Amino acid sequence: MMRLKVNGLDEETGASTLRELLLARGIDPGVRFLAVAVNGAVVRRAEWAQIPLSPGDEVEIVRPVQGG
């Protein structure tokens, strides 16, 4: 287990890649209109399964929400 900051909140996870983190959070990595950044750098979808996570990484997961 390691500690990350996900969308500004501390979180403990056993995920070792971005894809695993998304799945652990119940987010389908194949869904459209989803963007992910690690330590301020946007990561291309094709790389999510290969990008390793390290303790202390800051991950931002952004997806649109309906409503006004």
Model pTM score: 0.88
Sign of CA dihedral 54, 56, 57, 62: positive
Tell me the pLDDT tens digit for each residue of 19-46. 999 999 999 999 989 999 999 999 999 9
Banded pLDDT at 13 (limits 50, 70, 90): very high
In sequence order, which residues have a C-beta less than 8 Å from that of residue 28 and are 6 or more positions away? 22
- Catalogue all structural domains in the chain, each as residue range(s) with its CATH number: 2-62 (3.10.20.30)
Q: How far apart are CA 66 and CA 45, in angstroms?
A: 22
